[in-house]
Amino acid sequence: MEEPARPDPDALLALAQREGRGRLKVFLGAAPGVGKTFEMLAEARRRHAGGADVLVGIVETHGRAETAAQLGPLPVLPRAAIPYAGPGGSRSLEEFDLDAALARRPGILLLDELAHSNVPGSRHPKRWQDVEELREAGIEVWTTMNVQHLESLADPVARVTGIRVAETVPDRVLAEADAVELIDIPPAELLERMRAGKVYRPDQAERALRGFFREGNLAALREMALRRTAERVDADVTGYMRAHAIAGPWPSGERVLALVGSEPGAEAVVRHARRIADALRAPLLALHVERPAAPGDGGAAAAALREAEALGAQAETVVATDLPRAILAEARARNATHLVLGRGRPSAWRRLTGRTLSAALLRQGVDFALHLVPESALPPPPPREARAWPAWLGWAAVPGLVGAATLAAFVLDGIVPEGAMGMIYLAGIVAAAVGFGAPHGLAVAALSFLAWNYLFLPPRYSLTIAAAQDIVGAAVFSLVALLLAGTTGGLGRSVRAARARLLGLRRLVEFSRRLGAPGTLGDLLEAVAREAERIAGRPACVLMPLPPAPGQAEPEPVLRAAIPIDAEPDDAAMAAARWAMAHGRPTGRGTDTLPAGTAWQFRPMRTARGLVGLVGLRLGEAARLEPETDRSLAALLDQAAVAIERIELVEAAARDAARAETEQLRLALLTSLGHDLRTPLTSIRGALGALRLPGEALAPAVRDDLLATAEEETVRLTRTLANILDIVRLENGQVEPRREPVDLVEAVEAAAGRLERATGRRIARRFDPRLPAPRLDPALLDQVLGNLLDNALKFSGAAGEVSVTVRREGHEVAVAIEDSGPGIPAEALGRVFDPFFRASRTDRIVAGTGLGLAIARGLTVAMGGRIGAESPVVAGGQGTRVTLRFPA
């Protein structure tokens, strides 16, 4: 029983995708002056009068009074001034303000001249790319375009008019429009408008009438416009049929389907189909059916599909084992009426048995017209692919395999019946067909039959067959040998293809396992960069968003991993990365946004919660990746985004658990205040009470000692209160770093010198040459370094050593502060940066509140860095090293 027809999932998906984007309506004309802008404005005024939110983004009236009058009450968006340094000097040019339109978000936005090239320095080089971004933001756009600006018609228009159009629009933009309205007037009427000065000024009109605006040119352009509009209507009919599961073909119009095979002549088939489609004034489709057991095509099918897309065809690839059935199913689903395929070079056996593709389509596709491309139009067959072994080796193995089987037969002679001796030779036939191919298997089959007949069938040493049962055995042997030789070769190709696919699947599973394994975010990002570099064959990097600094609206991308290690984007590439991170769209080389000026391409990693990072590829001179590579990379980005989000969710859960301990921290704060504030206040009050004694009751030395004690305790009290205020600001998120390039050598020298002067102790410093200048907040960094150095000096004792080392570690810069003090117990390392935590509670503990390291951690994280502690670090189980790491 046949399965009931179901709607095409692709057609339903296309309808669903349109729901999420802004609509696009194109007013299409054959030439300037037919009234596209006039009609667009007239329709916009009618919608505006009905209460619609209509905004004129940009309209070019070209001095036509009747067009300018149509603007009427419609609101107009002010244009943006863009500085331009041209041959005539620097000046300011007016252009469409894309950002203002996105902020305004009108119901309908009017954009004239879709093929317009934007002023250099704009976000997109072409206006149709502005339209794409507006539609992604959910804004409905109305625009105008002349048919000669379609990319696929550039060459035909140049042949007809003698003028090559410089500004073109990809055909897919018109194909993806939600509505296309043809604005058409006869050529004679257009010429009258031209002579009357309603299109150009009189001097310009005179030149146009002698050149582009000839009646024959206008008639040809009008035919192109009518044909493209008809194609669009036909596409709408086909989409309706597919979405509603209506079997085709419908006789509503002609559609040409080019069958793209894996042979090198596939591109010639596409070009021939394009000519047929042009003659029939019909749209063109291209279909490639990939068979799992078929050998690789060396990229011939991919090249032909790219050629088809360049010629304005819609390309599609499906996977199936039954080639004719898959072709006819796709042809009916897409309402095709003409099938175009190459004659190919099938074997003589296939031609004799009628098993060629063309014969199968003639038998089964009675509803279609079949076109075979002449063999003269196809290129000559390419040379055979080089094997891993010389070509002569396979033919040299043929007598070797027959000889080995004959030797085995002599050994078994007398044990195995003569009639069954032929079964020994079948092993050699299978080995030759699998290892070298069907022709070698046929050769082994022929020699094996002769050897078996001559050496073992009675009468021996003669090719004569005496017994009737031997004749039946020989016939069965021959038939089995031919079947094995013919089918085992295909089985070998299937096994090799399955092995290659299994290897690719295994690598994908292994990478998925690595993504799912527990680990740090740094390990995950390095694995993503390494896999992206392996897939694309280009240097790759991963950038993560840093929270925006004050005055910045968008996050700042920061390099977190790269393969190889020196694959760092330059300034121009980072500008493209910032745009990609702000808008969540591919940017850079080979894309529609900021393609010039950089060799890098940046692709977003997105989940349902938003963008989590970027993967950058240094494409160099290559404009695009191969389709298979592009699909593999897209799958990698999806998996990586989910893994990064998982780690971020785990970290967020940990932060939530930390917030649950806030009340405990507040209790610890009150406990700490009870001790750490009472002690200095008691000391200060006692010293002041003693100083109030009259006369000479106190010696001068005692008085000086009391004053010094009061001053020291006041400083201690001030530091304690400052630390408490800092930790409160950090917990409330009130710290907003102001980032700027910081010289780490100067920052460390300033902090260390200040403490050396205050304590009289020496702090050793070591710096790597050519250190980078990370973007940090100088004031916050100075506070972090001061807290850490002060802490190291306190806990290292009066005779202890303290050192600072600044070095480059990959894509980070590390500042390590080390002391030779008693160290930190292993069980306390995980909590040493918690507020109010003290690693020791002995009587010899150094005075403090336990907030210094917590403040250092909070300020470091606010600047986008990391902090960690190690202990012990010197001999004897002593010493502590605290390391700061910032993006370089």
- What's the rounded Cα separation, in Å, for the pair 342 and 280? 19
- The two tokens of residue 280 are 């029939």
Which secondary-structure segment (H or E) carries 587? Answer: strand 587-588
The amino acid at 548:
P
Lowest model confidence (mean pLDDT) among 434-448, 491-505, 686-700: 491-505
Residues 6+ apart with CB under 8 A from 363: none
At residue 517, does pLDDT exceed 80? no
Strand 54-58 with 179-183, pairing: unpaired
600 compared with 548, residue with greater pLDDT: 600
Query: Highest mean pLDDT: which of 229-238, 514-523, 788-797?
Result: 788-797
The amino acid at 338:
H
562 compared with 223, residue with greater pLDDT: 562
- The two tokens of residue 441 are 């298997």
- What's the rounded Cα separation, in Å, for the pair 137 and 420? 77
The structure tokens 């502690």 sit at 869
Residue 134 is predicted with a pLDDT of 92
Per-residue pLDDT, averaged over 820-849, amounts to 66
Domain 736-888 indexed as CATH 3.40.640.10: no
Q: pLDDT, tens digit, for every residue of 277-322?
A: 888 878 888 998 887 655 555 456 777 887 887 787 888 888 787 8
- The two tokens of residue 374 are 């002449």
Decide whether 10-242 matches 250-377 in CATH topology.
yes
CATH fold of 521-650, please?
Beta-Lactamase (3.30.450)
What is the phi/psi pair of residue 592, to 5°?
Answer: -90, 0
As a whole number, the mean pLDDT across the chain is: 77
Angle at which helix 700-731 crosses helix 662-676, to 10 degrees, equals: 170
Q: What percent of the chain has pLDDT over 90?
A: 11
State whether residue 820 is helix, strand or coil: coil
| Half-sphere exposure of residue 346: CA atoms within 13 angstroms, side-chain side | 15
At residue 183, does pLDDT exceed 70? yes
Yes or no: say if 575 and 588 are a contact pair by the CB < 8 Å rule: no
The H-assigned helical ranges of 661-777 are 662-676, 678-691, 700-731, 744-759
564 compared with 84, residue with greater pLDDT: 564
At residue 389, does pLDDT exceed 60? no
Which secondary-structure segment (H or E) carries 542? Answer: strand 540-546
φ/ψ region of 610 (left if φ > 0, alpha if ψ in -120 to 50, else beta) reads: left
What is the phi/psi pair of residue 307, to 5°?
Answer: -65, -40
* pTM of model > 0.85: no
Residue 641 is predicted with a pLDDT of 87
Residues 6+ apart with CB under 8 A from 466: 457, 458, 459
Q: What is the dihedral of CA 38, 43, 48, 49, to 10 degrees?
A: 100
Considering the segment(s) 10-242 as one domain, its CATH architecture is 3-Layer(aba) Sandwich (3.40)
Lowest model confidence (mean pLDDT) among 35-49, 580-594, 662-676: 662-676
Residues 6+ apart with CB under 8 A from 689: none
What would the DSSP string read from start to end of 3-14?
A: PPP---HHHHHH
In this structure, what DSSP letter does residue 126 have?
B
835 alpha carbon, distance to own chain's centre: 42
Per-residue pLDDT, averaged over 826-846, amounts to 62
Residue 34 is predicted with a pLDDT of 84
- What's the rounded Cα separation, in Å, for the pair 313 and 172? 9
Considering the segment(s) 661-734 as one domain, its CATH architecture is Orthogonal Bundle (1.10)
Edge to edge, the sheet with strand 600-607 lists: 556-563, 540-546, 610-618, 600-607, 587-588
- The two tokens of residue 426 are 């079948």
Q: How far is CA 64 from CA 40, 46, 71, 212, in A?
A: 15, 21, 12, 20
Q: How far is CA 515 from CA 316, 510, 615, 672, in A?
A: 32, 9, 16, 44
Lowest model confidence (mean pLDDT) among 261-270, 535-544, 828-837: 828-837
367 alpha carbon, distance to own chain's centre: 42
Query: Highest mean pLDDT: which of 52-56, 193-197, 200-204, 774-778?
Result: 52-56
- What is the separation, in whole angstroms, between the first and last Cα of the chain? 67
- Per domain, the residue ranges of the chain are 10-242, 250-377, 391-493, 521-650, 661-734, 736-888
Q: 3-state secondary structure string, 719-736?
A: HHHHHHHHHHHHHCCCCC
In this structure, what DSSP letter does residue 76 have?
B
Residue 696 is predicted with a pLDDT of 63
- What's the rounded Cα separation, in Å, for the pair 460 and 462? 5
At residue 215, does pLDDT exceed 90? no
Residue 386 is predicted with a pLDDT of 41
Per-residue pLDDT, averaged over 212-238, amounts to 75
Residue 614 is predicted with a pLDDT of 92
At residue 390, does pLDDT exceed 70? no
In this structure, what DSSP letter does residue 137 have?
T
Query: Highest mean pLDDT: which of 189-198, 385-394, 807-816?
Result: 807-816
At residue 604, does pLDDT exceed 80? yes
Query: Highest mean pLDDT: which of 97-106, 560-569, 708-717?
Result: 97-106
Domain 250-377 indexed as CATH 3.40.50.620: yes
What is the phi/psi pair of residue 320, to 5°?
Answer: -160, 160
At residue 251, does pLDDT exceed 60? no
Q: pLDDT, tens digit, for every residue of 132-153?
A: 999 988 999 999 998 888 888 8
At residue 626, does pLDDT exceed 80? no
